[in-house]
Structure 1
């Protein structure tokens, strides 16, 4: 009898090893039943009925319970090739993420942002795609963005950073790959955008507006001709 004419369930179990390893995270669940048929690159098994392919663990679960639209199958054993129904549970996408071990899963369990603000109440903003953001940090980022002149290009920002160091105009030119005249021209454009007339004032305004990554090392001195 051609394979496609045989009972799908019979064919399915022929590809399963019921003597798999105990899951390290949940040994009390018993041995995993490992799918020995086709595997996807991500480790999930694939079972084909005629011309349609199914995730092996979903097919196995469907033999014992009804699959609910919108829910995902979570491997309690954390073994993607396992098809033992008692190792599987239908959960929401959110719960599946929270139970995972990826960076996204770890971040989803955090209660505070990197700055220490809580992800709760009036300080919590949820993006359309479900990501959590800190409102306090969003407001701070908006203030910095509003203070940054639109034409403040990366070379100008680099020059600002160099201006915080105790170096000469020639050293600035060497660091930026410019001529002395090029430094003067670039500095003039920077001063106009910031509304200042000197190197010291440019650094002071930039720090005030949060345009510099760090306060710099040493006191600035006037550029030498």
Structure 2
């Protein structure tokens, strides 16, 4: 029964990420941690990398590869910073800082901030995404907020490429640290049908968001991610 619940959570997360370009961690990580922590982090990372590949294939021609390159250039040191943060800082205060930073960016975006995915901001966002993803499991908002005014297909394809490469980087780091095992692939294989179902169901939702609602989705998911992180830090 717990395995089935985890699968259903992944299905919902796949729908959200398939439609908006990110958000699976917002849906899946807190619930999976409660239902069956054995699926975290490696099996969920494996599934996330598969989702990224599917999303990239679906909208490959809309990918901003220059943006992916600059974001990934920042993500490498960002991942190292995240590992350092996990090793040296208390989890709850760091989560509060991450949540507050993302929430502040969302509020600024609603009020007046019009970010653009140029080299400097992408590099900074890549560093933040790597650090936030490694230490707090919400790496999407820093990059998604930069692309909030871009067309839906560009957002989804670019985030898919960035997250796919970033996830592989995280898995490589975990593998070097001896934290990837055969059982993780078994857990990921169990989740794969749920992921595929969610990805297919995201098609209608994707078309709905592309009708002028994509920016609202980006800001809503970013804000919800930040609030979830703040609540988790407060009650954890």
Q: Do Structure 1 and Structure 2 share a fold, with TM-score over 0.5? A: no
Identify the structure with bigger relative contact order (alpha carbons < 8 Å, sequence gap 6+): 2
Of Structure 1 and Structure 2, the greater helix share is in 2
TM-score, normalised via structure 2 length: 0.20
Q: Which of the pair is proportionally richer in strand?
A: 1
TM-score (norm 1): 0.20
Largest Rg, 1 or 2? 1
